[in-house]
């Protein structure tokens, strides 16, 4: 398909308010009085964040969701996104239709629409960059800086599942049943960012981050930005039954989960424990208290009072 056919036939049906049907040079985002516009961008690439053999629909949804997790972490409600895609020659029109169907499903699930983008050819790997927009009540964006000694530390969902799915793809030995294997691979292909919890974070979190590099690394970013230290109860880090079956339950397994990355859950700090747990119940989002903010610096992982050694705290692209 030619570039203009791709835009008109594949992407225009996904376009929403302010996009002018993808028939103009630029798009508009109308201001919402009383709200700040929150902007974030993240790209995913074949061989790094997904495999070429992954379904086109889950590649599309992962590209969108790794951005929506940033908005959720900042307390923002998503509204729209830009899509910048570089297509290798191997991409077929059926692949593009499946890709668009994945976007359409997530647009319906998360209440977002396509605002615009750019379409190019590449001789390199398939890469997809999304820029996402959301609104947060004015002055309420949750920063990395803001954690205070005495705050509790929390994380949404479970940690390490995506890393487990990736390990299975890399042919790590395992004795999982089909349901466990599928669960972990699904978590690798399709992150489950806690969008329903964004508003609660804006109301109650003192600092927040989406967990992309690894729980320890990302909490390290929050600790550094806030000028505090953190103590994590390693045993409290929420891990799924499937991940425990894959990696066992020993200290090495916990460290591996806490450093695997690609989770797209949200780690945050807050002072009012009851408000956090009530909001979690109302939003039907799993939230687990995993530690405490203290004075000092750095993130320490404690298991039965013993500090666990962490070689590399998370994933690095370089
Ligand atoms: P320009 O030459 O002005 O950059 P383009 O031909 O690149 O225009 O794009 C035309 C329209 O199609 C614009 O509205 C642009 O936002 C939209 N568009 C192009 N590629 C994509 C894409 N991958 N996803 C969404 N919109 C796109
Ligand atoms: Mg262009």
Q: For atom 22 of ligand 1, which residue has the closest CA? A: 117
Residue-level pLDDT at 313: 74
Q: Which atom of ligand 1 has the smallest separation from the CA of 19?
A: 14
- Picking from 96, 112, 137, the residue at the C-terminal end of a domain is 137
Same domain, 166 and 240: yes
Q: Which atom of ligand 1 has the smallest separation from the CA of 26?
A: 14
With 70 as the cut, is the pLDDT of residue 116 above it?
yes
Total domains present in the chain = 2
Same domain, 229 and 259: yes
Q: Which atom of ligand 1 has the smallest separation from the CA of 24?
A: 14
Same domain, 130 and 219: no
Give the CATH number for residue 132. 3.30.1330.10
Residue-level pLDDT at 312: 80
Domain containing residue 177: 152-307
- Among the bound ligands, the one closest to the CA of 3: 1
- The answer to whether residue 312 is domain-embedded is no
For residue 199, report the distance from its CA to the centre of ligand 2, in Å: 34
Residue-level pLDDT at 317: 66
Same domain, 129 and 158: no
Q: For atom 9 of ligand 1, which residue has the closest CA? A: 118
Ligand 1 pocket: which of 2, 3, 4, 7 to mutate (most atoms <8 Å of CB)?
7
Same domain, 119 and 208: no
Residue-level pLDDT at 170: 95
- Among the bound ligands, the one closest to the CA of 113: 1
Same domain, 129 and 159: no
Q: For atom 16 of ligand 1, which residue has the closest CA? A: 116
Same domain, 37 and 89: yes
With 90 as the cut, is the pLDDT of residue 44 above it?
yes
Same domain, 130 and 192: no
- Following DSSP, what letter does each residue of the chain receive, concatenated? --HHHIIIIIIGGGB-TTSGGG-SS-------TTEEEEEEEEEEEBTTTB-TTS-HHHHHHHHHHHHHHHHHHTTPEEEEEEEEEEE-TT--HHHHHHHHHHHHHHHHHHT-EEEEEEEEE-SS--EEEEEEEEEEETT-PPPSTT--TT-EEEEES-SSHHHHHHHHHTT------HHHHHHHHHHHHS----GGGHHHHHHHEEEEEEESS-HHHHHHHHHHHHT-EEEEEGGGS---HHHHHHH-SSHHHHHHHHHH----EEEEEES-HHHHHHHHHHHT--EEEEEEEESSSEEEEEETTEEPP-S--S----
Q: For atom 8 of ligand 1, which residue has the closest CA? A: 25
For residue 258, report the distance from its CA to the centre of ligand 1, in Å: 39
Residue-level pLDDT at 147: 98
pLDDT tens-place string over residues 245-295:
999 999 999 999 999 999 999 999 999 999 999 999 999 999 999 999 999
Q: Which atom of ligand 1 has the smallest separation from the CA of 84?
A: 23
- Picking from 77, 102, 137, the residue at the C-terminal end of a domain is 137
For residue 120, report the distance from its CA to the centre of ligand 2, in Å: 8
Residues in the ligand 1 pocket, defined by CB under 6 Å: 7, 11, 22, 24-25, 83, 85, 114, 116-119
Q: Which atom of ligand 1 has the smallest separation from the CA of 85?
A: 23
Same domain, 157 and 296: yes
With 70 as the cut, is the pLDDT of residue 184 above it?
yes
Same domain, 195 and 251: yes
Give the CATH number for residue 294. 3.90.650.10
- Among the bound ligands, the one closest to the CA of 11: 1
pTM of the model: 0.96
Q: Which atom of ligand 1 has the smallest separation from the CA of 22?
A: 14
Same domain, 184 and 126: no
């Amino acid at each position: 398909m030619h570039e203009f056919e791709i835009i008109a036939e594949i992407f225009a049906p996904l376009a929403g308010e302010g996009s002018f049907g993808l028939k103009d040079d630029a798009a508009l985002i109308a201001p919402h009085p009383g709200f700040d516009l929150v902007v974030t961008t993240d790209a995913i690439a074949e061989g790094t964040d997904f495999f070429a053999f992954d379904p086109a629909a889950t590649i599309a949804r992962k590209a969108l969701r790794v951005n929506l997790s940033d908005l959720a972490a900042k307390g923002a409600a998503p509204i729209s996104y830009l899509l910048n895609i570089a297509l290798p020659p191997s991409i077929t029109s059926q692949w593009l239709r499946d890709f668009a169907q994945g976007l359409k499903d997530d647009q319906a699930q998360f209440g977002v629409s396509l605002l615009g983008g750019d379409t190019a050819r590449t001789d390199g790997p398939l890469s997809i960059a999304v820029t996402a927009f959301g609104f947060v009540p004015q002055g309420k964006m949750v920063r990395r800086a803001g954690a205070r000694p005495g705050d509790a530390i929390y994380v949404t969902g479970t940690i390490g599942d995506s890393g487990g799915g990736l390990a299975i793809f890399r042919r790590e030995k395992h004795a999982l049943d089909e349901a466990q294997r599928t669960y972990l691979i699904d978590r690798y292909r399709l992150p489950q960012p806690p969008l329903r919890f964004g508003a609660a974070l804006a109301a109650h979190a003192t600092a927040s981050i989406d967990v992309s590099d690894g729980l320890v690394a990302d909490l390290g970013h929050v600790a550094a930005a806030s000028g505090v230290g953190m103590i994590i109860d390693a045993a409290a880090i929420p891990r799924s039954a499937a991940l425990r079956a894959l990696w066992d339950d020993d200290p090495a397994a916990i460290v591996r989960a806490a450093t695997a990355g690609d989770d797209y859950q949200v780690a945050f700090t807050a002072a009012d424990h009851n408000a956090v747990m009530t909001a979690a119940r109302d939003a039907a989002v799993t939230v687990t208290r995993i530690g405490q903010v203290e004075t000092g610096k750095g993130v320490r992982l404690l298991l039965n009072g013993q500090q666990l050694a962490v070689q590399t705290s998370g994933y690095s692209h370089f």
